[in-house]
Structure 1
Amino acid sequence: MASTSFIVEGMHCGACTGRVERALLAEAGVTAAAANLMARAVRVDFEAPARADSLAEALARAGYPIASAETCLGFEASADAETVAAALQATPGVLSVEIAPESMARVSYAQGTVAPSELVRILGGLGVQARVISATAAPKPVAERQAAEAARLKRQVLVSALLTAPVFFLAMGPHLYPPLHHILAMRVGEDVTRAVQFVFTTLVLAFPGRVFLRLGLPALVRLAPEMNSLVALGALAAWGYSALVVLAPQILPPGTDEVYFEAAAVIVTLILLGRWLEARAKGQAGEAISRLVALRPATARVQRPGGVVELAVEELAPGDLVELTPGGRVAVDGIVTEGHGFVDESMLTGEPVPVEKTPGQPVTGGTVNGTSALVYRVTATGADTVLSRIIALVEAAQGQKLPVQALVDRVTRVFVPVVMALSTLTFALWFALGQGLAPSLVAAISVMIIACPCAMGLATPVSILVGTGRGAELGLLFRRGDALQRLAEVKTLAFDKTGTLTEGRPALTDLFLVPGPTEADLLRLAAGAEARSEHPLARAVVQAAEAQGLPPARARKVVATPGRGLSAEVEGRQILLGNAAALAEAGINPAPLAAQAEAFAQDGKTPVLVALDGTPVAVLALADPPKPHAAEAVAALEREGIAVAMISGDVAATAEAVGRQLGISRVIAGVLPAGKVAALSAMKNTGAVAFVGDGINDAPALAAADVGLALGSGTDVAIEAADVVIVGADPRGAARAVQLSRAVMRNIRQNLFWAFAYNTALIPVAMGVLVPFGGPGLSPMLAAAAMSLSSVFVVTNALRLRRAAA
């Protein structure tokens, strides 16, 4: 199975993406095709007999040619030319290979699917030394292509507006200022004014308006009309009829010699204006990706035997030692080798608090160093870095289709033919009712223009684009196509406990002392004894002492008894740490500490009794503490009307104690991974269920839930099984994901309502159903303005999602 992506610049609306996908799926061997309107790209999975070149031909036949590029590779003369050609041709994305006699290969490939350097590496893998002789420039990032498109449309709008201005003045000026009609008739003459309108309108259609003719008319020939077809037909009909009035008025019935050049020119200008505003808004919608790309620095300071050199980030390799200056941006992923400081990782986690970095800790490309100088060893470059993977996930998410889009696709597929039929019906009815040729034509043109399904096609993808971009800013990465919609429908959300709601490691939470030793002295002595133990609970005691700046005392004669505890001699004093049985076996009465130990145990904490010189003196309470914002996450979900549960493999007392602390009433404890799946299945009786986890043992539950959310701090296995990745370790990400999902779906419903309601309301008006009752019709110019504004409204409404889940 091979997979490749094509850049298809000719996609302009949701109907276009549907045609692109259907054209590819009709080819034998194609198993999946997903078009991304915002990125102007399509990803296709295929196997024999399909090939990249045959898929490109299928798209060209459908009217959507791909963006291609060429490179010329030189290879060693001793290499077998057929082997070279076969290896290159087998590369996904390569369209054709031509071998020249002078050991050169001219390769044509789909832009954005493969780079010339990759082709060189492929030949190198066969033992063939090759080099790039010439190559087409690499495709620009999506954000740059969108900016270039907006700039091109701006130029077209300006040219079209300048050419349309005299036409509009000559046609509409007399209506706005009646004396102007007599001035023009006396000084210029009607024939001259019409000739001027003809010339300028022809220029509008021939240059800025050519895009509609170039795309729309071939689609008509293929019997697959789309929005460009409607604009082309409407503008050409108005121009063609008016041209006949100017050039051959004798062939028209008397009284039908009105011209409508202004309708054709203004239609083109207004729709181009709408597209320009739409392209600008799309650029703003895609700012999340632009900001992520901008996080990559261009150069890095690399240590070399001869000193420090500044290299392009593309030249870095794993193992390089990179110097990070105060305030500098981390170039690629690595491990700190020297220095101590804090790094701002808000671009990854959304959390503003900088993270402490010491030797041995990871740093991520794109994050910002604080005030300390650091040195780190490169561990990943290029597409392997965390930032590159995040960008790839976000770009993929922005091109995903939600289940609701399937309905929109079905509607837009039949919408254009239905509109053309309604336009024809409108013309026939008006003409049959004796309204005359010209008014009938104007009404038919208005129907075609007003009904362009641009807003419908944009309603879903633009909301996904902005929503997933906002998710990236909040540290939420949607990995599955329908997760964004399904998460909005969730009724119950279940958390794993350890590592998800809790820190995942034991810590000293309480210290009970009988009169005698001070807390500092006891903790210092206990840490001295526990420092010689490998037990996780012992490490918690040592960390608690270190957190208070207490150096562990020196210990000797350390004896550990499994299942009981540990004894040692510390600074000449005998210390014993363990459970009640350990004290009793040592001849020490644990009764003075029993009540407090039991109280700690009831709270789900592990009590460790301490005796000094044969006297019971303290109880240490050790537990896996809840994360700082876990309770806040639970409360936020409950405010959204979602039932919160916790599923844990821990013992019931501990799990229930954590549940009480966080306000979770439904706790399922003591279950294995299979038990988590069964618990989730039972919860589905009340509606869709989401699960949040982080460990390998959570993978089955993440896959079994309607929506699985994995903490980015968890294992790769858990992340692969999840639908949504919460970058970092903050459980509040689950609440933000739900809020964002609901905001996106609410936005999509608003957009679809506007788009459908707009067409439903204005198509009858354009057909003239109100005219017999004294109501208004709808001129082609007003229809074009309304159609363009509907698309701009949809995109502008989607942009509000940039503030969602704040």
Structure 2
Amino acid sequence: MADITCTHCNLTFPEEVMIAEQQNDEPLFFCCKGCQGVYHLLNSEGLDTFYDKLGDTKLQPAIQNNEDLEKFDLEGFKNKYITTHQDGLSEINLIIEGIHCSACVWLNEKVLHKTDGVIETSINYTNNKAKIIWDPEVIKLSHIIQTIRSIGYNAYPYDPKLQEERAISTRKTYYSRILVAVFGSMNVMWLAVAHYAGYFGGIQQSFKDILNVAEFVLATPVLFYSGWIFFRGAYYGYKNNIVNMDTLVASGALSAYIYSIYAMISQRGEVYFDSVVMIITFVLVGKYLEVLSKKHAVDTLDGLMGSTPTEVTTIKDGVKSLVSIENIVVGDIIELKPGEKVVIDGEVTWGQGSFDESSLTGENEPVYKKNNDTILSGSICLDSVVHYSATKDASNSMLTSIVNLLEDSITKKPRIEQLANSVSGYFSTIILIIALLTFAGWFFWVESFEQALIVGISVIVIACPCALGLATPMATLVGISVAAKRGILFKEASFLETMAQSDILALDKTGTITEGKPSVVRSDYFESFDPSLLYSLVSTSNHPISKGIKAYLESKHETLKALALEEITSIEAKGVKATYEDQKLLGGNAALIQASNLKVDTESQNALFFFTINN
């Protein structure tokens, strides 16, 4: 029996294994119960136009797997992946597995929009990431996942580690394609040197034929293997009635390739295999740089969360234990040690200490926190042990809000990018029309098919709107990424565009435009001493002022030694003390020195640090 194509997934199987049925006197064949169920589901929901958009694209057979659905409703899963809004709505980022084209995106969005309880669905075709907002009072997340699976796709929560594996796979694909393209380009250009020399100085036809065949052999894998990305993009564009950048690159390179084969076989005219490989290589390298830039930008966001602890020390009934931050609930008592980063917002219940909030406010001065004061995630405990009560869970804390802010700023396109996307679509169509008119004009003017074809191809390749369509979103993506690395957060990408039209920049605090690190502006010595003593003392502290003094001493003295201090004690919110060979060292603020019955002048516009030896 002959092979039959499945009505849903377009895969072919022997007729005897197919499930056959009739609908309106039209035979239908399905490879499995899953495909049969999805087909009838789409028809019953009025979504049968999906198959018109799908065309000949092959899908994975719809596998019905509902065994693990209950895990999506577990409390631990909810705490880790789901964000709860103030209005009670829930939000999650999912990766939709099985998306092959824009028709797949259309189908998933349509089905979810028609599902009761789903408020918003948006799917990014470039990375298959879906943002879904729903009402948990109306529908459970497990039912949403089941709905996605019922139409032949699968979904799992967005995880940076899984995305890293996907990004590595994409980079490896580009590596191999670029290697083939560069190898072919280099060798074709060597052969082209001989071609050009023969063109101007004369060459026997037999030698010319050998060069033509050699260039053909090298150009073929470059065009169809390295350039497959452009042919695939052009094909999907054609199916959806869109003329895109890939259409221009593919049509220009393929036209030159076909004409070169004709010239090689007929021994009339010149071949342009060198142009074919250079077109593919240069644009492919540009696409690869786009992939790298996008990966680096995403790494910046993942790095913000990756640099934070995944566990905290909690105290319950006098027992300390390490608990994952996803399992922290409001009211839990958390212990902070000197140097630890705060990952859950809360309120101090015991102890006091200084906190570095420069990453949040830009102010380099440590902030003193005592009982009932609020501490924010992203700040760092500097000099003492503090206990505090969690007032928010991990998903609603300050640090998570910052990361979510950055992710939203990348997904929201500024007006200039929306304009570029719409213009580049019309632009590509116009360029194709101009190229055809150019070809026709040159052909009738000079009556040379070869010259007219090359001029027409030149119009297509040179006018390719890659800069328009790629540079605009990449500039937005990289701009937000670089700003985030330097402590500048944009709520939306459109603010980048707005800033370009600004004449005045107003800043509300000095810490915003400083380095965020204190430095020594003046030092007064009442008696001479070994600077290694002070250097060793401040080296035991994580306080920003101690670090500033350490950097100052390193710049002023070349022979500093790290001495082995004893009885090192950190005094909360005041300073540090230690001993070295019967010498008592004391360093800190005025309160610490005054507590030792020493009188000091405390009038200054700057932060003061005092250092004494044996009082």
1:57 deviation in Å?
4.9
CA distance in 2, matches of 1:365, 1:91: 21
Gaps of 5+ in 2: 1-41, 71-89, 97-107, 112-121, 144-148, 509-588, 592-604, 607-615
Aligned match of 1:206: 224
Q: Deviations over 1:160-193 (max 9, x none)?
A: 21233333322335537999997x988xx44444
The answer to whether residue 399 in structure 2 is matched with residue 387 in structure 1 is yes
CA distance in 2, matches of 1:178, 1:286: 50
Aligned match of 1:333: 345
Match of 2:272 among 237, 240, 260: 260
Deviates more, 1:137-146 or 1:311-320: 137-146
Aligned match of 2:429: 417
Match of 1:156 among 152, 174, 177: 177
Aligned match of 2:326: 314
CA distance in 2, matches of 1:163, 1:54: 46
CA distance in 1, matches of 2:63, 2:91: 15
| One-letter amino acid matched to 2:446 | G
Aligned match of 2:356: 344
| One-letter amino acid matched to 1:255 | R
Gaps of 5+ in 1: 1-48, 77-89, 99-108, 127-131, 497-546, 550-627, 630-806
1:228 deviation in Å?
0.3
CA distance in 2, matches of 1:395, 1:55: 34
Q: 1:207 aligns to what SS in structure 2?
A: helix
| One-letter amino acid matched to 2:404 | A
CA distance in 2, matches of 1:174, 1:300: 70
1:351 deviation in Å?
2.8
CA distance in 1, matches of 2:53, 2:453: 33
Alignment of 1:518-557 (within 5 A): none
CA distance in 2, matches of 1:55, 1:339: 65
Instruction: Provide the aligned C-alpha RMSD in A.
Output: 5.2
Asked whether the 8 Å contact 2:231–2:247 carries over to 1, the reply is yes
1:426 deviation in Å?
1.8
CA distance in 1, matches of 2:184, 2:46: 41
1:71 deviation in Å?
6.5
CA distance in 2, matches of 1:53, 1:368: 56
CA distance in 1, matches of 2:225, 2:457: 21
Aligned match of 1:72: 66
1:227 deviation in Å?
0.2
The answer to whether residue 256 in structure 2 is matched with residue 244 in structure 1 is no
Aligned length: 415
Q: 2:360 aligns to what SS in structure 1?
A: helix
CA distance in 2, matches of 1:53, 1:293: 43
CA distance in 2, matches of 1:255, 1:396: 58
Instruction: Give TM-score scaled by structure 1 length.
Output: 0.43
| One-letter amino acid matched to 1:299 | E
1:326 deviation in Å?
2.1
CA distance in 2, matches of 1:411, 1:421: 15
Match of 1:396 among 408, 422, 446: 408
Aligned match of 1:197: 215
Aligned match of 1:300: 312
Q: Deviations over 1:676-701 (max 9, x none)?
A: xxxxxxxxxxxxxxxxxxxxxxxxxx
Asked whether the 8 Å contact 2:167–2:295 carries over to 1, the reply is yes
1:453 deviation in Å?
1.2
The answer to whether residue 231 in structure 2 is matched with residue 231 in structure 1 is no
Structure with the greater alpha carbon radius of gyration: 1
Alignment of 1:745-784 (within 5 A): none
Asked whether the 8 Å contact 2:182–2:281 carries over to 1, the reply is yes
1:316 deviation in Å?
2.9
1:234 deviation in Å?
0.8
Aligned match of 1:220: 238
| One-letter amino acid matched to 2:442 | W
Match of 1:443 among 455, 469, 479: 455
1:419 deviation in Å?
0.6
Aligned match of 2:14: none
Asked whether the 8 Å contact 2:410–2:492 carries over to 1, the reply is no
1:494 deviation in Å?
10
Q: 2:354 aligns to what SS in structure 1?
A: strand
1:293 deviation in Å?
2.9
Aligned match of 1:355: 367
| One-letter amino acid matched to 1:329 | K
CA distance in 2, matches of 1:481, 1:137: 27
| One-letter amino acid matched to 1:333 | D
Asked whether the 8 Å contact 2:343–2:378 carries over to 1, the reply is yes
**RCO higher in 1 or 2 (8 Å CA, sep ≥ 6)?**
1
Q: 1:336 aligns to what SS in structure 2?
A: strand
1:236 deviation in Å?
0.7
CA distance in 2, matches of 1:432, 1:139: 58
1:322 deviation in Å?
2.7
Aligned match of 1:376: 388
Aligned match of 1:430: 442
Residue 120 and residue 198 in structure 1: after superposition, are their counterparts in 2 closer, same or farther (change >3 A)?
farther
1:266 deviation in Å?
1.7
Residue 147 and residue 293 in structure 1: after superposition, are their counterparts in 2 closer, same or farther (change >3 A)?
farther
CA distance in 1, matches of 2:65, 2:400: 25
Instruction: Give TM-score scaled by structure 2 length.
Output: 0.55
1:59 deviation in Å?
12
CA distance in 1, matches of 2:63, 2:479: 33
CA distance in 1, matches of 2:45, 2:401: 25
Aligned match of 2:560: none
Q: 1:242 aligns to what SS in structure 2?
A: helix
CA distance in 1, matches of 2:349, 2:392: 15
CA distance in 2, matches of 1:325, 1:197: 68
Asked whether the 8 Å contact 1:365–1:386 carries over to 2, the reply is yes
Residue 240 and residue 178 in structure 1: after superposition, are their counterparts in 2 closer, same or farther (change >3 A)?
closer
1:447 deviation in Å?
1.1
CA distance in 2, matches of 1:57, 1:426: 38
Asked whether the 8 Å contact 1:329–1:365 carries over to 2, the reply is yes
Alignment of 1:283-682 (within 5 A): 283-284=295-296, 288-304=300-316, 307-405=319-417, 407-434=419-446, 436-469=448-481, 472=484, 477-479=489-491, 482-486=494-498, 489=501
Deviates more, 1:422-431 or 1:324-333: 324-333
Asked whether the 8 Å contact 1:56–1:66 carries over to 2, the reply is no
Q: Deviations over 1:753-799 (max 9, x none)?
A: xxxxxxxxxxxxxxxxxxxxxxxxxxxxxxxxxxxxxxxxxxxxxxx
CA distance in 2, matches of 1:329, 1:121: 38
CA distance in 1, matches of 2:130, 2:259: 47
1:468 deviation in Å?
4.0
